[in-house]
Chains A and B, each alone.
Chain A
């Protein structure tokens, strides 16, 4: 049970709301830009899942390693990746966090501990374990966090990672955004175990399932695990039940599911829910201005010159 907004210190609530609005506005703008082909290639937006990114990443330090998957923009923004360089990356420009080399699915910002997005389902899990192991060896209290979807749980790499993380008691927090769909198929086509926390139950790691659209509940549950990981515990699994409002990728006609009714979305929307409790307006407008500035800035950046590639093959 969450203590709710009332349990939040100071302006934590406002910060959560602001982060979510920044993600929401950024993602919707990216959606428009893909249709105008200013952002090209394969893009996966996290509209609807902002609560998880904000609730988790807001509590992390730059020296905590965060990994994400193909649906990474929200996690990157919440981890502190600035919007201008992020947008420039999506536009393939110099000034992009990866100088245009990576694109949407390969956003990396080492300075801010966003060790990155990866494009192959489950490929990020063992990477996070590596960071956790390194953190342990370095002797500090930094932790690793890895975001993945419910679809990744059926992959072999998932159980290999859970077994080792548990055996070695690694300070890694596995955050599963369970939105009930793996690309275009519902969870029931992938497994007959509904809850991801039940899949890991036999390994005995500390785990919890929360309403991923209740950003305060996410924050609270994660805080407890973060505390545990910093004090030498681990691993942990936080399953966040959430909703991916848009298609799997931008352009996905979504023939495989019924569109959510507007009223139903109103009740699920993590932003609206917090906003009603905090009674604060203004972040949306602020976010629009910030995002537009990012778009203009990104548009002004040159495309990288091809010679750059040769420099970036080998260290």
Chain B
């Protein structure tokens, strides 16, 4: 009997717990966790492997790197992606570089768990979508699960991966419930998913915007437009092949991203399709991204900036109605 659906955030925790049980080199630490001996992680794995840290991201991430040199597999709970900015050196310039710089001698199998996109009144410094900053960093993997099942599967894969992985989880999805396999569940890093098949247009959605894309597709179906929705699930490596395969089928592409236009994964995906799949395109690519502004606090302004179903539907209608590219 399949169990009841569980929330997204629980799925992530389940992955960490199961991996810690399977592999005693996995460590879990960060601020505001492991607060008491009653904490389930502390009870299961002991106060050595599960620790609370001060507000010290540079040290937290740096220590993860060092523990990885010494054979451990740390998972750092950073809560918000913006807090990585305080420690950018460790994330971009230390963790992903050692394997290369050492000629392959040392691996850095760390996972950074970073929430993002909390556009629910958390205002300018806690609402950003910054995953694209990390996409081009050689040695660094970036994953953005959009469902609870993928959250568990990608966290599991991230912990097992021998490279540093940032797992971005959207705070707006925290309590979204979904079917999640109870036992071991791995979603390979670098594999996109076609979450809705269709023939008339391809919508690529990332993270929280996948749900928006699916809602838009429902609305479009009512107008006789059959949209295919692709969820990359990983941003680095990016499964360009699956996206291009979809564009070969539909000829029309809309890419949706909660980040701002030039700071988005959408821009990189668009460039790849323009470069590798140009002959399949029957219309220019439409990007539906956040508008270029620091996310304001006030709700109407905050919501105004973000992609939504209406904007996605309009973008699809535009590519469907656009003149054929000569």
A and B touch in the complex (CB under 8 A): yes
Could you tell me which A residues sit within 8 Å of B by CB distance? 40-42, 89, 92-93, 96, 98, 100-106, 118-123, 151-152, 154-157, 182-185, 189-191, 256, 303-304, 306, 308-310, 312-313
B310 within 8 A of A: no
CB pair B293–A310 under 8 Å, yes or no, is yes
CB pair A154–B56 under 8 Å, yes or no, is yes
CB within 8 Å for A309 and B122 given contacts A100-B301, A303-B300: no
Task: For the complex, give the distance between the alpha carbons of A98 and B294 in Å.
Answer: 13
CB within 8 Å for A102 and B123 given contacts A92-B299, A304-B301, A309-B293: yes
CB within 8 Å for A190 and B54 given contacts A256-B36, A309-B304: yes
B279 within 8 A of A: no
Count of chain A to chain B residue pairs whose CB atoms are closer than 8 Å in the complex: 125
Question: Which of B122, B294, B298, B299 has the most C-beta atoms of chain A within 10 angstroms of its own C-beta?
Answer: B298
Task: For the complex, give the distance between the alpha carbons of A105 and B59 in Å.
Answer: 25
Task: For the complex, give the distance between the alpha carbons of A161 and B9 in Å.
Answer: 36
* New contact pairs (16) apart from A104-B297, A189-B52, CB-CB < 8 Å: A41-B123, A101-B294, A102-B124, A103-B296, A103-B298, A120-B82, A120-B86, A121-B55, A154-B55, A155-B55, A182-B31, A189-B54, A191-B54, A304-B298, A304-B301, A308-B301
B126 within 8 A of A: yes
CB within 8 Å for A156 and B56 given contacts A42-B122, A102-B124, A104-B123: yes
**Contact sample, A vs B, 29 pairs, CB 8 Å cutoff:** A40-B120, A41-B120, A41-B297, A89-B297, A92-B299, A92-B301, A96-B298, A98-B297, A101-B297, A102-B296, A102-B297, A104-B297, A119-B126, A120-B86, A154-B56, A155-B54, A155-B55, A156-B58, A183-B31, A183-B32, A185-B31, A185-B52, A189-B35, A190-B54, A190-B55, A303-B299, A306-B305, A309-B305, A313-B293
Task: For the complex, give the distance between the alpha carbons of A93 and B55 in Å.
Answer: 33
Task: For the complex, give the distance between the alpha carbons of A103 and B124 in Å.
Answer: 9
Complex A-B, nearest 3 residue pairs according to Cβ-Cβ distance, in ascending order:
A41-B121, A103-B297, A92-B298
- Residues of A within 8 Å of B122, CB to CB, are 41-42
CB pair A118–B125 under 8 Å, yes or no, is yes
Task: For the complex, give the distance between the alpha carbons of A235 and B294 in Å.
Answer: 33
- Residues of A within 8 Å of B23, CB to CB, are none
Could you tell me which B residues sit within 8 Å of A by CB distance? 31-32, 35-36, 52-56, 58-59, 82-83, 86, 120-126, 291-294, 296-301, 304-305
**Interface of chain B, helix or strand or loop or mixed?**
loop
In-complex Cβ contact of B123 among A42, A154, A309 (8 A) = A42
CB pair A92–B297 under 8 Å, yes or no, is yes
Chain B nearest CB, measured from A33 CB (Å): 13
CB pair A185–B32 under 8 Å, yes or no, is yes
In-complex Cβ contact of B124 among A119, A122, A157 (8 A) = A119
Chain A nearest CB, measured from B292 CB (Å): 6
CB pair B56–A155 under 8 Å, yes or no, is yes
CB pair A42–B301 under 8 Å, yes or no, is no
CB pair B299–A312 under 8 Å, yes or no, is no
CB pair A100–B296 under 8 Å, yes or no, is yes
Task: For the complex, give the distance between the alpha carbons of A151 and B83 in Å.
Answer: 15
Task: For the complex, give the distance between the alpha carbons of A14 and B11 in Å.
Answer: 55
CB pair A120–B297 under 8 Å, yes or no, is no
Chain A nearest CB, measured from B268 CB (Å): 23
Task: For the complex, give the distance between the alpha carbons of A190 and B55 in Å.
Answer: 8
CB pair A106–B123 under 8 Å, yes or no, is yes
- Residues of B within 8 Å of A119, CB to CB, are 123-126
Task: For the complex, give the distance between the alpha carbons of A128 and B305 in Å.
Answer: 31
CB pair B300–A182 under 8 Å, yes or no, is no
Task: For the complex, give the distance between the alpha carbons of A190 and B299 in Å.
Answer: 35
Task: For the complex, give the distance between the alpha carbons of A191 and B59 in Å.
Answer: 13
Task: For the complex, give the distance between the alpha carbons of A308 and B55 in Å.
Answer: 35
